[in-house]
Amino acid sequence: MDKLIRGITSNGRIRVFGALTTGVVQKAYETHNTTPVATAAFGRTLTAALMMGTMLKGEKENVSLQFKGDGPIATVLAVGTPQGTVKGYVGNNFVALPLKENGKLDVGGAIGDGYLTVIKDLRLKEPYIGKVELQTGEIAEDLTYYFATSEQTPSVVALGVLVDRDFSVKAAGGYIIQLMPEATEEDIVKLEQNLAGLKSVTALIEDGMDIGEILNTVMDGFEIKITDEITPEYKCDCNKERIERAIISLGRQEIEDILKKEKKAEVTCYFCNKEYVFAESELQEILSKNE
């Protein structure tokens, strides 16, 4: 069962985040009809956004991860909230690439060279924006680099999505381990020893481990206090008012053009593919309300 947890070592020197997201990524795959390599790129990003959502403090805050590269998938975007919900989309859900030499899906090849942009909407006047160059396009390495350079927080990021033969999601999850400034050399050595030779996160999930057991394996020798535990969910928060605001932002001229040509507007939500239809009378009302 999907689970999202965060915790801290009893000495307060290391923060830990873990997510089992097989169900969330399956829902994302069903919603966006992604090919295996797109599911892997999307699922890793969604899993990271869920964990980074729990790093936020305010209820209405959210964090967006945007991978934009010159590869065939073009964009992968995910938005996480502190409530454990996530939504997102990929630029090209049909991307297909040969497997890498090691038999893995070529997520780095799908994304290509480009940038990772992290936007935190903290409900302040301006959002926090951190932008780093992609290291490999494999998502986890890029986030490790982001945490080190933009947030000055040394981190271990592991993300995995295992796609089944029928394209459904067999296993998905990940963890983020963050060293606080008080972390000692001894802590780092111990953590490195634990990570050396550790199986991939999807292999651990396939072994039947839950996310708490996975974190305990990664953090062997440390005492962890779990402070939060939520059931994560792929969930869109769109509604007709939001879509109406998007239509208004098109501008008067554009809306008048749509009225003339189509006599109605059909708008599909990027995140959940729900379709909204605005009839001629509703478009006219939008125009008259926004004179």
Binding of Zn ion at residue 77 (CB under 5 A)?
Answer: no
Q: Site for Zn ion (CB under 5 A): which residue of 269, 278, 283, 286?
A: 269
Per CB under 5 A, which region of 10-18, 218-226, 230-238, 275-283 contacts Zn ion?
230-238
Q: Site for Zn ion (CB under 5 A): which residue of 271, 278, 283, 286?
A: 271
Angle between the N-to-C axes of helices 280-289 and 240-248, in degrees from 0 to 180, rounded to the nearest 10: 60
The DSSP string of 51-119 is HHHTT--STT-EEEEEEEESSTT-EEEEEE-TTSEEEEEES-TT---PPPTTS---HHHHH-SEEEEEE
> Minimum Å distance from CB 267 to Zn ion?
10
Q: Which two tokens stand for residue 4?
A: 């999202």
Per CB under 5 A, which region of 3-11, 191-199, 244-252, 272-280 contacts Zn ion?
272-280
Binding of Zn ion at residue 236 (CB under 5 A)?
Answer: yes
Burial of residue 190 (CB within 10 Å: 0-12, 13-18, 19+) is middle
Binding of Zn ion at residue 119 (CB under 5 A)?
Answer: no
Per CB under 5 A, which region of 108-116, 130-138, 186-194, 237-245 contacts Zn ion?
237-245
Q: Which residues contact 71 (CB under 8 A, 6 or more apart)?
A: 95, 108, 109, 110, 111, 112, 113, 114, 137
Edge to edge, the sheet with strand 155-163 lists: 155-163, 169-179, 14-20, 3-9, 224-230
Binding of Zn ion at residue 272 (CB under 5 A)?
Answer: yes
Closer residue to Zn ion (CB): 7 or 53: 53
Separation of alpha carbons 130 and 193, rounded Å: 31
> Minimum Å distance from CB 157 to Zn ion?
28
Q: Site for Zn ion (CB under 5 A): which residue of 132, 198, 238, 248?
A: 238
Bridge partner residues of 156 (DSSP)? 177
Per CB under 5 A, which region of 56-64, 162-170, 223-231, 269-277 contacts Zn ion?
269-277
> Minimum Å distance from CB 88 to Zn ion?
11
Closer residue to Zn ion (CB): 183 or 272: 272
Please report, as ranges, the residues that interact with Zn ion according to CB under 5 A: 236, 238, 269, 271-272, 274
